[in-house]
Structure 1
Amino acid sequence: MNRTATARTPFDRLQPFAPSLSKRRALAPLLAALVLAGCATAPVELPAVPTPARFKEALPASQTATEGRWTEAAVAEAQPRGEWWKAFQDPVLDALVAQAGEANTSLQQAAARVRQARALLRNAEADRSPQLGLVGGATRQRGLDRNQSTQPSTLLNAGISASWELDLFGRLSRLQDAAALDAQGREALLQSTRLMVQAEVAQTYLALRAADEERALVRDGVAAYRDTLRLTQRREQAGDVAALDVARMQAEVSANESEALALDRQRAELEHALAVLVGRAPADFGIGVDRWQTALPVVPAGVPSTVLLRRPDVAAAQAAVLAAQARVGAAQAAYFPDIALTAGGGFASPELGDLFKWSVRSWGVGALLSLPLLDGGRRAAGVAQAAGVFDEAAAGYRAQSLIAFREVEDQLSGLRLLKEQASAQATAVEAAARAMQLSDTRYRNGYISQLDLLDARRSELRNRRQALQVRSAQYQATVALVRALGGGWGGSPVAAAPSSSTTAATDMAAAALVKKDGS
């Protein structure tokens, strides 16, 4: 079948046939030839997405030695994506993710949508199958000829009927394909929701553990301030300092207690959020305070092309494109006749007592052909609407692919810069801890003022908290990178030790502070 060679839109490339009115009025043999030539829909071409050879923000291979220890999962949107959260080596996190997989309401909603899509697929499959049913009825009738004096008569009938629509032009098969692709898309979205829930559980839990650690830091700071307050009060009683120094130190104690209470509130909110994620009421859920000992895994980025294979949301967008293309073909098939085979058999009698006698049996077979000639542009509008849906789905696929690349680049750059920030912050923590030790000794011996001591203590606490916040951001970015990559690794990922340089520095400072408290 000859068509224009140029294609201005994706829809133009997908048109398997678009007969003009003159062709529909041609002779039957010519029309049949055209139909047979155009029955097969041209294979769809997914929209082109610019895919770089490597991620711009990825570290060189020499800096990611653990990359070879990971194995990328095969594409299987409807299958589990791998237990990636176990790379953090935290049994509490493992248990929370398992609970969320069973009771999270977002997952339950997504699973219900999958069941709906599968039911619609079965409905589309049923439309292509022969239909069989029972029929029965009663008719009361009388002729309208005035010259006849016939009385009204009654006709009773009962039997079975069968019909089958011959899908010669592919309308029903394309609708079935579209329904199957819709179901695949829903399954991919279910996996996307599962990955989202897993990531949210991990990020919320890690934020809670970071809050525990920061609360401990602030509480240690409060204890240190109280120790200094007691020392200042003794010096005031001895006449060495003024009451102003005592009031200033009391203000620092109260301010840090307020910070600790704010962190208590933050932790409570994170605990409540975890309760909802695992499908529990906040009143019936709790996680005890514990040290932050979760490992920090190193996640390889792979190459950009594999992201389009691993991410279930991209797979769902692809299924939407293919489903829209199938519906374009179904809309085009409306230009050709619907042909159905029908059959029926049963009994018909004017008397109920004679209805099922063998002598009143009847049967019939036939074929029904339906082809609208004038529809006011309804079929053309249907094709245009289907083409618009296809264009929208194609743009959505391109957008989702580009968003996937952006999210990976964001997290890669974040992890790279956070690593540098953690190193710089570790140096700052060590320097601040040393300055605090010297200031405390000099203050106790009367060599510096209280303001100098307070400045040193504030600097130490501020740097320790910033180090913890950087560490927390590294964990959050790692989970976000796993989510951006679509999860789905096999094997055993290599995780960094829980005590990074930043953690070691903060632990050293904490030990020094405890030593001062006990002096």
Structure 2
Amino acid sequence: MLRGARADRLPQLGASFGVTRQKQAAVDRGQPAGTPVDPSTAWRASLDASYEVDLFGRVSNTVDAATADAQAVEATYRSVLLALQADVAQTYFQLRAIDAEVELLERTVGLRDENVRLTDKRYSAGDISELDLARARTEAATTRAEALARRGDRAQLEHGLALLLGKTPAAFSFERKPLTSDALVPQVPAGLPSALLERRPDVVAAQAQLLAATARVGQARSAIFPALALTASGGYVSNDLEDLFKWDVRTWLASAVLSLPIFDGGRNRAGIARAEAALEESVASYRQSVLAAFGDVENSLSNLRSVRGQAEELNNAVTAARRAADLADKRYRAGEDSYLTLIDAQRNLLAIERQAVQLRGAWASSTVGLIRALGGGWEAPPPQTAAAN
């Protein structure tokens, strides 16, 4: 489309070659009716040229609209690509978070099995009732079932990541790599400039569509003004093919035509009204895109601050829960507390540790969401790149 629009800026050249044979009526030749007229043959070879002088911007506005349309299509492609990259990154971090959760559950299963062995020994020695042994076995089986469920969730996420990468789930395998507490997550600097939103692909696409609509208004308005067309043609015409390219049978034509619409039934005015309405729609769409971009960034920043605060508090909670579980284990082994107290402390520790793991994954995913909302990050592009864009 862009190349087709730019072609209107250049002269159009064409060549033709052909033959015609006709028999005219005597009256058409100014002779009395019934006069015999012989058929005639004409061989023609010509070179034609035409050019429209862009007096009122019809051609330039057409080119501007096509250029903006091409930029909008490219920006839309980059928007889809950015969304795909963000989905891949978020799925990756979710997968690593589940790996950490599965590792935690597997470690907890080992502790539950050890509790079962310890409880069985104490039950055999007559120190405790069978109720504590049944509770220990219940906790071990429940934790094992939770680990199996999370492995199933991991398999579904792995299949989703394979589809995002364009691979079949059966041929894709992702190595287990838990998301640790010391995993590096990009730190968001303070005071992000709002100018970063100008490079968001959806904002760029909306801006390009606005420019295209503006150019189409100028294109529609140019239709009510005169248009100047230059044409030229030169070649040869002969009754015999062998005489076609002789100098004395040459012919040429040059013309300059200025055309102006006088009455068109309101078609041009309707075209202008339609183009102006499309421009108003593009303006509203651009404003909505900018507002949506600000909203996405604010939501991402708010979510990230919330997750960061929760993570700090949960770290303190994990430390306290581990201390409580360790004390409960020692007191149970010494016979000072019941098994119910130990199980309660271990359940609490497992729940808090799982929350901490899930929160680490949410922190990473929220950071990816902010990068997506900013259009690819918070680092300003180099000056030459900005100028090129």
**TM-score (structure 1 length as normaliser):** 0.67
Which residue is 1:402 aligned to? Answer: 291
Task: Provide the secondary structure at the position in 2 that maps to 1:289.
Answer: coil
Conserved in 1, the CA contact under 8 Å of 2:15 and 2:48? Answer: yes
Conserved in 2, the CA contact under 8 Å of 1:341 and 1:367? Answer: yes
Deviates more, 1:393-402 or 1:347-356: 347-356
**Deviations 1:47-104 (Å, cap 9, x if unpaired)?**
xxxxxxxxxxxxxxxxxxxxxxxxxxxxxxxxxxxxxxxxxxxxxxxxxxxxxxxxxx
Q: Which amino acid aligns with 2:58?
A: R
**Deviations 1:290-349 (Å, cap 9, x if unpaired)?**
243530221125355323334232222112111110111001111123321111111212
Distance, in Å, in 2 between the alignment partners of 1:421 and 1:301 is: 19
Select 1:377's aligned residue among 263, 266, 278. Answer: 266
Deviation at 1:358, TM superposition (A): 2.6
Matched, 1:489 2:384: no
Conserved in 1, the CA contact under 8 Å of 2:98 and 2:178? Answer: no
Deviates more, 1:476-485 or 1:142-151: 142-151
Which residue is 2:17 aligned to? Answer: 136
Conserved in 2, the CA contact under 8 Å of 1:301 and 1:485? Answer: no
Select 2:45's aligned residue among 133, 158, 162. Answer: 158
Which residue is 2:314 aligned to? Answer: 425
Distance, in Å, in 1 between the alignment partners of 2:326 and 2:307 is: 28
Deviates more, 1:380-389 or 1:236-245: 236-245
Distance, in Å, in 2 between the alignment partners of 1:253 and 1:374 is: 90
**Deviations 1:237-273 (Å, cap 9, x if unpaired)?**
3344444443433332222222212222222233333
Task: Provide the secondary structure at the position in 2 that maps to 1:374.
Answer: coil
Distance, in Å, in 2 between the alignment partners of 1:220 and 1:372 is: 85
Deviates more, 1:197-206 or 1:397-406: 197-206
Select 1:180's aligned residue among 60, 67, 71. Answer: 67
Over 6 Å off, 4+ runs: none
Deviates more, 1:236-245 or 1:158-167: 236-245
Q: Which amino acid aligns with 1:227?
A: E
Deviation at 1:218, TM superposition (A): 0.9
Conserved in 1, the CA contact under 8 Å of 2:119 and 2:132? Answer: yes
Which residue is 1:312 aligned to? Answer: 201
Matched, 1:121 2:2: yes
Select 1:262's aligned residue among 145, 149, 161. Answer: 149
Conserved in 2, the CA contact under 8 Å of 1:211 and 1:267? Answer: yes
Deviation at 1:172, TM superposition (A): 0.7
Which residue is 2:231 aligned to? Answer: 342
Deviation at 1:461, TM superposition (A): 0.3
Which residue is 2:384 aligned to? Answer: none
Deviation at 1:369, TM superposition (A): 3.5
Conserved in 2, the CA contact under 8 Å of 1:217 and 1:465? Answer: yes
Equivalenced residue count is 372
Select 1:413's aligned residue among 302, 311, 317. Answer: 302
Matched, 1:231 2:118: yes
Deviation at 1:136, TM superposition (A): 2.3
**Deviations 1:449-494 (Å, cap 9, x if unpaired)?**
3333222221110000111112221111112122222225169xxx
Conserved in 2, the CA contact under 8 Å of 1:308 and 1:315? Answer: no
Conserved in 2, the CA contact under 8 Å of 1:310 and 1:488? Answer: no
Deviation at 1:371, TM superposition (A): 3.4
Structure 2 matches for 1:24-423, cutoff 5 A? 120-144=1-25, 145=27, 146-292=33-179, 294-423=183-312
RMSD: 2.3
Deviates more, 1:477-486 or 1:350-359: 350-359
Structure 2 matches for 1:445-484, cutoff 5 A? 445-484=334-373
Conserved in 2, the CA contact under 8 Å of 1:192 and 1:313? Answer: yes
Question: Unaligned 5+ residue runs, structure 2?
Answer: 28-32, 382-389
Distance, in Å, in 2 between the alignment partners of 1:243 and 1:441 is: 21
Conserved in 2, the CA contact under 8 Å of 1:304 and 1:405? Answer: no
Task: Provide the secondary structure at the position in 1 that maps to 2:223.
Answer: helix
**TM-score (structure 2 length as normaliser):** 0.88
Distance, in Å, in 2 between the alignment partners of 1:316 and 1:488 is: 20
Q: Which amino acid aligns with 1:157?
A: R
Task: Provide the secondary structure at the position in 2 that maps to 1:137.
Answer: strand
